[in-house]
Structure 1
Amino acid sequence: MPEPTAQSPDPPRTLADRALARLQDDIVRGVIAPGTKLGESELAARYGVSRGPMREVIRRLESRKLLERKVHVGTRVTSLDPQRLAHLYFVREALEGMAARTAATAMSDAEIAMLHALLEQHEQQQDLKEDIAYFQREGDLDFHYRIIQGSHNPALVETLIGELYYLIRMSRYQFSSVAKRPRKALQEHRQIVEAIEARDGELAELLMRRHISRARRNIEAESAHPAVSNVS
């Protein structure tokens, strides 16, 4: 039997879907900088759709917290100031720790095998091999997304994926490379999977909370001494 492999998200089907995927990716990766004011007509032309579908794209990105609309100001890309990031990561630490604890009893053996396969794929990334950066594609190709889904807890899924996921991805990309941290982050991922595989929920939660706490401290250090940092 072939080994399980992680699957890519389904490709966007319509022009509007593709525009959403491209604009979202450009925001998450910082191609369009935080705080940038966005015009509906300009975006429609840039991403090859009419203004009607682009209006819906903007609405969906607002619901994902990547865009903010303010009276007399317009629509801007969300800015993640240090205090907001710290608050976000305190919430993330608690809830993803809970997700890891729950996943230790809720995930099937097949789902755990997929986690191992996913980390094997991550290890082949050239930037990770060189200890430069560790950035994951979204959805099933994202280790944290898999853990959250593996909790099989609708409330955790709705909060961490429905409300916070893309904002967290944005922060993770902004701080995605720091010397000697990417390889350590991968090792921490492996330890979390091992705890889940051992059905040790208490250890899985502890390891996940420590993992995200380190990311938060990196953000705080970066804010105090601006340089390139890393979260995962």
Structure 2
Amino acid sequence: MNVTAETLALRDEAQTPLSDTVFQQVLEAIHQGRLAPGSVVNEAALALEFGVSRGPVREAVRRLQGIQLVTREPYMKARVVALTAESALELFQMRMALEGVACNLAAQRMSDADIEQLIADLEQERQRQVRAEQGGAAGPKVFDFHERIVRASGNRRIIHALCADLYHLLRLYRRHSGTVLERKEDAFAEHWQIARAIKSRDVDLAESLMRSHIERAARHLFTHLAEDGVRPPSS
């Protein structure tokens, strides 16, 4: 195999922390909506924005392809994955099943101290959202409620399924389903209901509430996809 100088340079760059930094920057741009679903990933523009060479950006794009956030057809430019109703339906069906079970297990396995921390973080996140709605300095997100519940389940297979590479794609769809203020308020109230069920150790109620919460989020997402001209598939 003939290894060119350019290939060696790219390989060296990919092995440096710079590559990881650029990956995180592009990933955050996607999560924040600055790189919108379906938009072209302009490697030259990103390299200029981040003040780096094209190598780390190419590596970041390759990694984003690996976790299904970027697609690239032969002879076509890379694009942020487009949100489709069919993919959303499959992901939310999987979430209802796995997160429902995870919530059941979390209600059994979380310590009292962990539950109190969950409730405290939930309130802190709510205060952050209120500051943001009032135009104040909200600061970074406190925590991810769903990720906390999944990890608290202690089930390694569920954790791997929902918190590894697929987590970023799930987060992209979840962000799209929660962009409207009314849904954010409803989602927060539903999080509180789930947290209270966990605190009371009512495993069946906790599981049921989590499933219902995700189902409502799915319906909300499908409504927005329909408004964007994407027809939700029949379930």
Matches of 2:115 and 2:151 in 1, distance apart? 12
8 A Cα contact 2:35 2:41, kept in partner: no
**Is residue 122 of structure 2 the alignment partner of residue 104 of structure 1?**
no
Matches of 2:96 and 2:134 in 1, distance apart? 24
Matches of 2:140 and 2:207 in 1, distance apart? 23
Choose the corresponding residue for 1:68, options 67, 71, 79: 71
Deviation at 1:15, TM superposition (A): 3.1
**Is residue 126 of structure 2 the alignment partner of residue 123 of structure 1?**
yes
Amino acid at match of 2:153: S
Amino acid at match of 1:38: V
8 A Cα contact 1:34 1:77, kept in partner: yes
Change (3 A) 1:131 1:215: farther
The answer for the alignment partner of 2:60 in structure 1 is 57
Cα-Cα RMSD: 2.8
Matches of 1:225 and 1:54 in 2, distance apart? 33
Written as runs of structure 1 = structure 2, the 5 A alignment for 1:101-180 is 101-127=104-130, 141-180=143-182
8 A Cα contact 1:105 1:201, kept in partner: yes
Change (3 A) 1:44 1:224: closer
For structure 1, list consecutive stretches of 5 or more residues without a partner in the other structure: 1-12, 228-232
Select the structure of larger CA radius of gyration.
2
**Is residue 34 of structure 2 the alignment partner of residue 31 of structure 1?**
yes
Give TM-score, length-normalised by structure 2: 0.79
Q: Give the paired residue count.
A: 212
Matches of 1:187 and 1:131 in 2, distance apart? 19
8 A Cα contact 1:104 1:201, kept in partner: yes
Q: Which has the higher contact order (CA 8 A, sep 6+)?
A: 1
Identity %: 40
The answer for the alignment partner of 1:184 in structure 2 is 186
Matches of 2:193 and 2:134 in 1, distance apart? 18
Give TM-score, length-normalised by structure 1: 0.80
For structure 2, list consecutive stretches of 5 or more residues without a partner in the other structure: 1-15, 230-235
Change (3 A) 1:58 1:19: same
Matches of 1:136 and 1:189 in 2, distance apart? 21
Structure in which a larger fraction of residues adopt helix? 2
Matches of 1:111 and 1:57 in 2, distance apart? 35
